[in-house]
Structure 1
């Protein structure tokens, strides 16, 4: 499928020609600099993020040799001036801001430009220049004014892109949809060395380098992902709001507790956080301080929606009962928290103060209960909110008591599409629905999935609030209006070879002031995947199960 003009996926040559027509004035420092940049340093693309009514963050990284083992991208060990330019049109005939910033060697020559004093609710185009090289063009936008009434927002959300398990075609399909905002809900990159996490039939491509432990390792791994053209297309089309889950550090870590005993885990965590900030379009408020990083935050879209972006890794109690899927009395302990007390207070206060029509939680792991046992025992995942039942009850009760108009939870992690209705008491299926959860599948993690007919999981027989399931790869495309939130569950028939088309497997609508799901479309995949589906022993494709059953 050919990309449209408005996706801005211009070739480097075309961008260079446009740049020649509007040469940027160099600062004195930039004019004096003559660095050894003998090849294009913009190999990792461009990105923007965290839109506010008056601005956003612009990102790029200079890396003429992006996969260098030292993680420094082949750059000289000195700071380099980088020019940036913002325009109201994609050909840069109406430039509105320009300036020069410094790509610091100490930060692997990453660039974060935090813009303010722009007009609210506007589309902008941006690019960078370092010496004679010009980056591709990116498209971004400011959020509407906080008091503005908005007719609609096109938002897509994604998660779980294991480079080795397939091609990032789904990112390309997200870009072709031209959303106004993209949320990434975790597992942007994976930590394993080649051969550690292999799908049936073998991985179609491999990670470079060892398992990520050092700052150089994480920088190299982020560069390998960012060099992918499909991921670059998705970053260039719209602003992103990102949160990490576990694999940005290591599988199933919890606060200061690693998956397996590791005396150097805190140093590893600090290195992972540093590389994550360097490679994401985050504001300076998220600059790591040792092992700490401020990631939870809010993004407001006028009076239409407030996105509460959560961090369910950095402050959580350790997983109960040794982790895994099991019956566990400790999961119900009243003091356990997946968010930590401070973040919980922040979230509950946000509910009380909210004036938005839609309050949307962007977070990482399954929120509603998923009992995988047909008998009287409740067997659930200790890595999800099921392992922190009291924490979930406090959050759910918090939005009910605050009178939140439309609470919706967005989730990643489990490598499958799900849609479920949220309850205060999951033991009684007749109790009223108090919210809605939409779960996106993985971009690639798990390899080729498989369609299911009917589109429900066997667990739904004793979990009637679980309304939809699809074990295909893909993403969720939404349109939010004052009257409804429409969610298209987009799927790809295969990912182990490139070029798959995407189609809508099912569509659900959440109506204003009516928590719960109304299905409006159900379209099975017309052709089977070309390779066997990866099926976990628990049937949900989660990383926790994969580690228990497959890791050496």
Structure 2
């Protein structure tokens, strides 16, 4: 059921570019328009690679950022420069579809976001950038099917949580080789933590980023990774953020540690983090931050087969409650009233066979203590119980077709049935949640310790259908009748390369809420006994 067998790109093509002579770069003229200049552009400006994102039937966003010195502010001169872009039907660029120019401005970190229009629906394209004789790597992208189309299949992957210090991006070596229409990245693209000397590799800088320059350097460091670049160059990405792109467990204008960050300093930090995030992501102009605000919740339709509703569970949420009693307050919101209305209206009117929620934090109830005592992480939907119950009741109202929540954050795989009251097994199952594991965060897993803690809790949690804490991503195949999701795990993130395997398969059937079946494979002995090398990992997930 390959989507792209006819147009595979090799890793070499994705990560290398040739040279082509072009005219001198063009500068923005103060009186309007552009003026030629002979001022030189530094060499090696495409060190952060290329990316595409937000696929529509006739459009996709092409991204790059000019950064010859990525960890020192980018290294570009303090002036705008003009970049040429081209998109074609083949990777030799002999059949052009569109070409044009875009201005890379210093006030946006010399990033480029090209919203290419007039493309064919459900089609593969190849793209690249050039400036001053320098040619970028080649990227491959794909548009969405027409809204009226009835595609038989859709294959995509979702991933999250890629702490640079926790390990190498071995999972992306394999994700880049999958056949996918898109990748949904569900948050924690960067981590804001300071350098950990005992980690597998080191964050740049000396502390947590708080300024625009510091967030730019942190994002740039992540973007220099060749495996991450290959995954971006292979498919369009649909991205959303969680907490670590700004500050661990932040909520609206409230930081994790309000005793250490004043309201004004955190607002300034949020503004800086949002801008750096936009500068490094393949997002449309509609997501350009405006002060404290950034429009990130949005919707994508893949014909009549599936709609993807991208959530933002950070900007508009109430502060996390402190107790279970507090979590029952009807005033608490994870999304804000406006986004909740947008979600409900979109679910009702989607016209799609499947409704997929690209979501950051776990919906399913997740007790952390075996026995009668219950312990919860209130940063998850467990802290926002009235709104969660209201939405889950809507899932079960008959007005939403096949809701499946796709979640990141946990650094573990948690496959769950969803019901309005998780403590009452007589309440109906109304949907499914696939919580995917991390790319690196948490490092190589201690599976014995994990199962010793959570297997007894799983016995008391009938809505949990599968749990695991190893590293990787999830690939989903959607048809009219079912959604089949494969958990793809790597054997290590503490070495530059790794093997990958399908550890488990999860099936959701159309018209039957919840998880229809789980098939788990035995862990190979070579993986189960993997010991060296070992690194100390700082993990925010209990």
What is the TM-score with the length of structure 1 in the denominator? Answer: 0.90
What's the counterpart of residue 61 of structure 2?
57
Please report how far the alpha carbon of residue 424 of structure 1 lies from its aligned counterpart in structure 2 after TM superposition. Answer: 1.4
What's the counterpart of residue 66 of structure 1?
70
Distance in 2 separating the partners of 1:63 and 1:12:
18
What's the counterpart of residue 47 of structure 2?
43
Distance in 2 separating the partners of 1:38 and 1:24:
15
Please report how far the alpha carbon of residue 31 of structure 1 lies from its aligned counterpart in structure 2 after TM superposition. Answer: 8.3
What's the counterpart of residue 232 of structure 1?
229
Q: How many residues align?
A: 523
Distance in 2 separating the partners of 1:271 and 1:542:
24
- Structure 1 residues 533 and 245, CA, compared in 2 at 3 Å: closer, same or farther? farther
What's the counterpart of residue 250 of structure 1?
247
Please report how far the alpha carbon of residue 28 of structure 1 lies from its aligned counterpart in structure 2 after TM superposition. Answer: 9.6
**Corresponding position: 1:514 with 2:512:** yes
Please report how far the alpha carbon of residue 11 of structure 1 lies from its aligned counterpart in structure 2 after TM superposition. Answer: 4.8
- Structure 1 residues 138 and 67, CA, compared in 2 at 3 Å: closer, same or farther? same
What's the counterpart of residue 548 of structure 1?
none
Distance in 2 separating the partners of 1:544 and 1:406:
30
The answer on whether the counterparts of 2:165 and 2:200 sit within 8 Å (CA) in structure 1 is yes
The answer on whether the counterparts of 2:252 and 2:314 sit within 8 Å (CA) in structure 1 is yes
- Structure 1 residues 421 and 274, CA, compared in 2 at 3 Å: closer, same or farther? same
Counterparts of residues 332-343 of structure 1 (less than 5 Å): 332-343=328-339
What's the counterpart of residue 18 of structure 2?
16
**Corresponding position: 1:7 with 2:1:** no
Distance in 2 separating the partners of 1:288 and 1:184:
19
Please report how far the alpha carbon of residue 38 of structure 1 lies from its aligned counterpart in structure 2 after TM superposition. Answer: 3.7
Distance in 1 separating the partners of 2:12 and 2:493:
24
Please report how far the alpha carbon of residue 156 of structure 1 lies from its aligned counterpart in structure 2 after TM superposition. Answer: 0.3
The answer on whether the counterparts of 1:372 and 1:378 sit within 8 Å (CA) in structure 2 is yes
Secondary structure at 2:230's aligned position in 1?
helix
Distance in 1 separating the partners of 2:402 and 2:330:
27
**Corresponding position: 1:241 with 2:245:** no
What's the counterpart of residue 367 of structure 2?
371
Distance in 1 separating the partners of 2:324 and 2:240:
28
Deviations 1:35-89 (A, max 9, x none): 4324210000000000011101100000111111xx2x11111111100000011
Please report how far the alpha carbon of residue 7 of structure 1 lies from its aligned counterpart in structure 2 after TM superposition. Answer: 3.2
- Return 391-400 or 185-194, whichever deviates more: 391-400
The answer on whether the counterparts of 2:25 and 2:81 sit within 8 Å (CA) in structure 1 is no
The answer on whether the counterparts of 1:351 and 1:402 sit within 8 Å (CA) in structure 2 is no
Aligned CA RMSD, in angstroms, stands at 2.5
Please report how far the alpha carbon of residue 100 of structure 1 lies from its aligned counterpart in structure 2 after TM superposition. Answer: 0.7
The answer on whether the counterparts of 1:316 and 1:340 sit within 8 Å (CA) in structure 2 is yes
Distance in 2 separating the partners of 1:302 and 1:217:
41
Secondary structure at 1:475's aligned position in 2?
strand
Counterparts of residues 395-410 of structure 1 (less than 5 Å): 395-410=391-406
What's the counterpart of residue 428 of structure 2?
432
**Corresponding position: 1:189 with 2:190:** yes
Distance in 2 separating the partners of 1:134 and 1:379:
54
Secondary structure at 2:204's aligned position in 1?
coil
Q: Which runs of 5+ in 2 are unaligned?
A: 29-33
Q: Equivalent of 1:447, from 413, 420, 443? A: 443
Distance in 1 separating the partners of 2:498 and 2:213:
34
Distance in 1 separating the partners of 2:15 and 2:146:
37
Distance in 1 separating the partners of 2:242 and 2:236:
20
What's the counterpart of residue 159 of structure 1?
160
The answer on whether the counterparts of 1:123 and 1:140 sit within 8 Å (CA) in structure 2 is yes
- Structure 1 residues 83 and 337, CA, compared in 2 at 3 Å: closer, same or farther? same
What's the counterpart of residue 316 of structure 1?
317
What's the counterpart of residue 413 of structure 1?
409
Secondary structure at 1:436's aligned position in 2?
strand
Please report how far the alpha carbon of residue 454 of structure 1 lies from its aligned counterpart in structure 2 after TM superposition. Answer: 8.1
The answer on whether the counterparts of 1:79 and 1:105 sit within 8 Å (CA) in structure 2 is yes
Distance in 1 separating the partners of 2:326 and 2:340:
20
What's the counterpart of residue 79 of structure 1?
80
What is the TM-score with the length of structure 2 in the denominator? Answer: 0.92
Deviations 1:409-462 (A, max 9, x none): 000001011101001121112432110000111111111014469897332111
Secondary structure at 1:433's aligned position in 2?
coil
Q: Which runs of 5+ in 1 are unaligned?
A: 322-326, 546-552
Counterparts of residues 110-509 of structure 1 (less than 5 Å): 110-195=111-196, 202-209=198-205, 210-261=207-258, 262-263=261-262, 264-321=265-322, 328-451=324-447, 457-509=455-507
Distance in 1 separating the partners of 2:294 and 2:58:
24
The answer on whether the counterparts of 1:419 and 1:439 sit within 8 Å (CA) in structure 2 is yes
Distance in 2 separating the partners of 1:491 and 1:371:
25
Distance in 2 separating the partners of 1:220 and 1:349:
39
- Return 422-431 or 340-349, whichever deviates more: 422-431
Please report how far the alpha carbon of residue 374 of structure 1 lies from its aligned counterpart in structure 2 after TM superposition. Answer: 3.2
- Structure 1 residues 166 and 542, CA, compared in 2 at 3 Å: closer, same or farther? closer
What's the counterpart of residue 31 of structure 2?
none
Distance in 2 separating the partners of 1:513 and 1:13:
43
Please report how far the alpha carbon of residue 521 of structure 1 lies from its aligned counterpart in structure 2 after TM superposition. Answer: 3.0
